[in-house]
Structure formats: C-alpha cells, structure tokens
Amino acid sequence: MNDNLVEINDLSFAYNSRLLHKGINMRFPRGKVVAIMGGSGSGKTTLLRLIGGQLKPTQGEVRVDGHVVHEQSRDEIYRMRRKMGMLFQFGALFTDLSVYDNVAFPMREHTNLPESIIRDLVLLKLNAVGLRGARDLMPAELSGGMARRVALARTVALDPAIIMYDEPFAGLDPISMGVIVNLIRSLNDALGATSIVVTHDVHETFSFVDYVYFVSAGVVVAEGTPEDLRASEMPFVHQFVHGEADGPVPFHYAAPDYRQDMLRGVNV
C-alpha cells in the first residue's frame, strides 16, 4: 500500500487561458495533517477542487488512493467522493435544513440506516463539535464559528478517509479559531484520516499541522515541517511567515513609474 493517500504529480492547470499552476508536485501521507499555504489568488482552493475531481488538470495528474482522478468515470468519482469530506470556506450549510438535518444529509443520501440510528450518529457528530444543543437551529441562527463547526460535523458524518478544509479560519474570532484548530487535529487523529488544510493563517496552522507546502506564482516555492519553515531564510517564506508588507511579493500592483504617472507623462 502506498504511504501517500493523495499525490499531485507535475500538475498544471489553466483557467480562462491563464496558467494558474505550473508543474506542482505534492504528497499527502496517510494519517497526516498537511497545509497548503499561499497568498490570496494563488490557486489553493483550485487544488482542492482538482483533488475532488470538480476540475480537470491541463497537464499532470492527481492520484487518490492510487487512482488518477481525471481518468475516473462520473460514477467512479462519486464513489471516490464518498470517502472524502470537504469543509467549505463559509460552511456551505443547506439554508433550508436545520442543523440536525444538515448533518443527517449525507447519511440519508448514502446509507439505508434507520432514522433511530441516524439520530444517534448525528448527535454523536454534533457532540464532537460541541453543538449537540444547537440541533434544532437553522443555519441563519448560527454565528460564523458555529456554522463552521456544524459544517465540520457534516463533513465527517460518514467518517471520510480524506478531509479537506478550505480556509477554515477565515473570519473567525480567536476562540472559534482555537476550537476549529483543536477539532481538525483531534478529528483527524480519531478517524485515522488524512487532512489537507488550505489556509493563509500562519500562526494557527503552524501550531497543529505536520507538513506545509507554500504555493506562489503557480509553483511550490517551499515545503517542510513548521519548524523548518519558521527557521527558513528564503525571502518568500520569511515575508509570509512574518507577515511583511513588502518583499518578493510586492506591495504595489504592477504600475508605470510613479513620477511619470503623476506628471501625466510630461518631462520636467
């Protein structure tokens, strides 16, 4: 059995004829929590969609459990997705269903379990994220952090082998962020799953992940354990980890010479 549950090999992906990824290689070992980090618009979420088979690579391949994702038929991709869970950036809870029904949704769709067992499982999952008491609320009645936790309970409803997190800390207060950090690590270890976390929150991510990939300008610019990257002297990594405004990623968007721009092209 391959040690890597997910592999990305020499992957390129173009969107609207713009090359977003240029020959990316990544490994996601079984049982580990791996982060993909990078600035906004660097194509991190697109990588999750490529792993989930929602997009097809322009070149290269994504392998999940040894199978090349884009070569699978629609039915095979759907079978593969039953072993996956994905937490979307803002939860993507079904707004017409209650918290309870949202968590029960994947169970009702994919199993023939009787309602009494579904109830026990839903309460088990909601208890794991601390929201058993919120089962009757509607998504509109939840705070951002609570919605994210309900979505997490729904994501792990069928005990997936791969859990993908798309910006799980975006817009959360420090307490909710701490809760989510603990949940990602503990759920991964309890389920024996492999987790892929797409984020740009350095401090939180480095506190619980096993390995980190840094993506910039369509390529992996650095990788390693959080300790390695904290100590890294690479300009991009240093700028990103320490949150510096200017550096290899410039503060200014590409523009003509400032002086010439202000003088409207007149030579003085």
Partner 1 sequence: MFKRLTIGLRLVGHRVIDRIWRFGSATRFFMYTLVLSGESLRRFHLTIREIYFTGVLSLIIILVSALFVGMVLGLQGYNTLQKYGSSEAIGVLVALSLVRELGPVVTALLFAGRAGTAITAEIGLMKATEQLSAMEMMAVNPIARVVAPRFWAGVISMPLLAALFSMVGVFGGFLVAVPLLGIDDGAFWSQMQANVDFREDIVNGVIKSFVFGVTCTIIALFEGYDAPPTAEGVSRATTRTVVNSSLAVLALDFVMTSFMIGV
CA distances from 6 to 34, 67, 161 (A): 11, 9, 11
Q: Residue 69, interface with partner 1 (CB under 8 A)?
A: no
Q: In the 8-state DSSP scheme, what is residue 133?
A: G
The Cα–Cα gap between 218 and 41 comes to 10
Which CB atom, from 86 or from 142, has the smaller least distance to partner 1? Answer: 86
* Residue among 16 and 267 whose Cβ is closer to partner 1: 16
| Residues 6 or more apart whose Cβ sits within 8 Å of residue 93 | 99, 102, 139, 142, 147, 150, 151, 154
Residue 94 interacts with partner 1 (CB under 8 A)?
Answer: yes
At its nearest, how many Å lie between partner 1 and the CB of residue 261?
A: 31
Q: What would the x/- binding string for partner 1 be over residues 103 to 142, using CB under 8 A?
A: --xx--xx--------------------------------
Does 89 engage in binding with partner 1 (CB under 8 A)?
A: yes
Task: Decide: is 90 part of the binding site for partner 1 (CB under 8 A).
Answer: yes
Residue 109 or 120: the one with the smaller Cβ distance to partner 1 is 109
Question: Could you give the C-alpha distances from 156 to 43, 74, 95, 201, 246, in angstroms and in order?
Answer: 25, 23, 19, 23, 39
Q: Report yes or no: 243 and 203 within 8 Å, Cβ to Cβ.
A: no
- Where along the sequence are the contacts to partner 1 (CB under 8 A)? 52, 54, 78-79, 81-82, 84-86, 88-90, 92-95, 105-106, 109-110
